[in-house]
Amino acid sequence: MAGKEKTTSQVVREGLEKACEEFTVRVMPLGFSRTKKMFWTREQPHVVEFIHFHRSGSSYGAAINFSVDIRVHFGIRVLNDNCDSASLNGPFSDPTLTREGRYHLRFNAKTGSTYDRCVGDLVRFVAERGEPWFHQFRDCEVLIGSSDTPLSLDSIGYLEASIRGDADSDNIAGSRKLFGIKTPKNKT
């Protein structure tokens, strides 16, 4: 009895998962861990830096073809924040950045065409666009005081409280849960 042929959605899901697994290995040296299906996090004192992937090309959740087109978002989350969602508050792979950097962030899950280039360019996008942005805001005083801070006024207040030593342990636990961070990193 012949095996059942995989649906387009299954092929795309497996291709995306393979790319995510390879991406995970390649961003580990930068300190990022995959903590949820489409989130990679790096905890710093008082904040979590994160990468999020969004796959385009579906209709009502089902893949419309074999193309895996990935949009990359960066964000910074104050651990002491009590918001119940992740704010994608940083740069992302918009078409202009993608063209300017010649980033090819898609591949064909059925044929594997441009798979290696896509995964390489995902990592390169993190190195060239994400890391400088994260570094710009690594100092909490800059994150608070910069005119182009990615944080909302509420988040700035939560960060200021955390720096003063007034962080709420429930907020921190909630932020870690939101991103799937199982154990806190011991950072000074």
pLDDT in tens, 51-96: 999 998 877 778 889 999 999 999 999 999 999 999 999 999 988 8
pLDDT band at residue 19, thresholds of 50, 70 and 90? very high
Residue 71's domain comprises 8-179
Residue 99, domain member (yes or no) = yes
Stated as kind and residue range, the H or E segment containing 143 is helix 140-145
Residue 187, domain member (yes or no) = no
CA distances from 93 to 32, 87, 103, 122, 143 (A): 18, 16, 9, 10, 22
Residue 71, domain member (yes or no) = yes
pLDDT band at residue 183, thresholds of 50, 70 and 90? low
Residue 77, domain member (yes or no) = yes
Task: Specify the pLDDT at position 96.
Answer: 84
Q: Is the pLDDT of residue 122 over 60?
A: yes
Residue 145, domain member (yes or no) = yes
Question: Which of residues 92 and 1 earns the better pLDDT score?
Answer: 92
DSSP tally for the chain: helices H, then strands E: 7, 7
Q: Picking from 36-40, 59-63, 129-133, 137-141, which range would have the lowest pLDDT averaged per residue?
A: 59-63
The mean pLDDT of the chain is 93
Q: Is the pLDDT of residue 2 over 70?
A: no
Q: Is the pLDDT of residue 12 over 90?
A: yes
Residue 185, domain member (yes or no) = no
Task: Specify the pLDDT at position 187.
Answer: 45
Q: Is the pLDDT of residue 157 over 90?
A: yes
Q: How far apart are CA 127 and CA 157, in angstroms?
A: 30
pLDDT band at residue 15, thresholds of 50, 70 and 90? very high
pLDDT band at residue 25, thresholds of 50, 70 and 90? very high
Residue 188, domain member (yes or no) = no
As for how many domains the chain has, the answer is: 1
Task: Quote the DSSP letter at residue 7.
Answer: P
Residue 1, domain member (yes or no) = no
Helix, strand and coil content of the chain, in percent to the nearest 5, comes to: 45, 20, 35
Mean pLDDT on 148-153: 97
Task: Specify the pLDDT at position 188.
Answer: 40
